[in-house]
Structure 1
């Protein structure tokens, strides 16, 4: 059993995946940040190059095989625009970042995206391609959609995910799966509960996020 959950942060290039992941890695120092683009480069998992889209084609089968031991350990924050190749049994939360198309347009232009690469990414966001993939690949209760348009969004989103991670540990480290507080309250016949929710919404662009995106 994993003592920490595995979290995927995904979305169309330009929606701020890396910005969120890096902030989460700071707020959750016991976790390991996994940039899949970097993992592909480090492990020589390129199967070629898509010249039209100016992007690397990854060997996804080898990628999953090599990354599986990391996922089994838990505590991984996974940063990639593809999410549905990772085993469902090893993923605990899938966060899909969304950005207003006007903001995404500006971000992609600033990165120098042109032609097919630009059009494909804009269409992907408009058509909710990555969100749909996530919902089809994983249980609906572990897939969340967060808006990512500003720095304030990044702060709020990161806080929300951190609270989720803390609660996951509490829920998954009890021997009987029950609430210690509830058991204590039932013995005494009284008690009170409290809930806290982070306000949800999201983010800024990460200049380094997808220098070479697998489309």
Structure 2
């Protein structure tokens, strides 16, 4: 069996609830009609990927293992737009761009209030946005170069964000004419090569610094 590869990128659109994920994804689909959209909340409900109910938040608890069992095979084809406020559950090897939407606190408050969220839920989401929780989760879970932070306060910014992502997809295809691998082993090997390259640069810098220090010591000793 040949290596599994995808010819189009998988895009994860994430952010605190109320930052404009669904609207952004809708605009993306208009510009990328061949892509498939997955709203993870709807996907989890349809496929019964639940592990209980959170009474405090008045929402179902998603069974992430079952979710991935259902979703991961669908991502192998590429050309998917994933919409969820949680971003650290998806396999790194299957995600090509993580678009983290950000929103001004006053704008976010108005949006959440219009949804008639309970005050405690509004406070929780406001705190998460102010502290940049979703962005930090993305940076902790994926390579920094595929994480992009996009301000999403109004329709003009959303449209500009969509243009930017669409342009990126074109560049991605030009840079990967044969697609990219879905295989874990190949992905890990590539990442290890990148890590070794970075470590080599660091070691060389350290070696240069040591040489300079030794040279300075010799100069001082000869005085």
TM range (shorter): 0.7 to 0.9
**Structural RMSD (CA):** 1.1
Larger Rg: 2
CA contact 1:54–1:117 (8 Å) conserved in 2: no
Residue number among 100, 103, 106 corresponding to 1:96 in the alignment = 100
Unaligned runs of 5+ residues in structure 2 are 180-223
Inter-partner Cα distance in structure 1 for 2:118 and 2:41? 20
SS at match of 1:66: helix
- 4+ residue stretches of structure 1 with deviation over 3 A? none
More helix by share: 2
Q: Cα distance, 1:86 vs. partner?
A: 0.2
Contact 1:8 1:93 in 2 (8 A): yes
Unaligned runs of 5+ in 1: 176-215
Aligned length: 175
**Take 1:45 and 1:116, find their aligned partners in 2: how far apart are those partners?**
26
TM-score (norm 2): 0.77
Equivalent pair of 2:7/2:178 in contact (CA under 8 Å): no
Task: Give deviations 1:99-126, integer Å, cap 9, x for gaps.
Answer: 0000001111110112321111111101
**1:173 positional shift:** 0.5
Structure-2 residue corresponding to 1:123: 127
Q: 1:9·1:95 contact (CA, 8 Å) conserved in 2?
A: yes
The answer to whether the 8 A contact 2:44-2:67 is kept is yes
Q: Separation in 1 of the partners of 2:35 and 2:102?
A: 24
Tell me the equivalent position of 2:51: 47
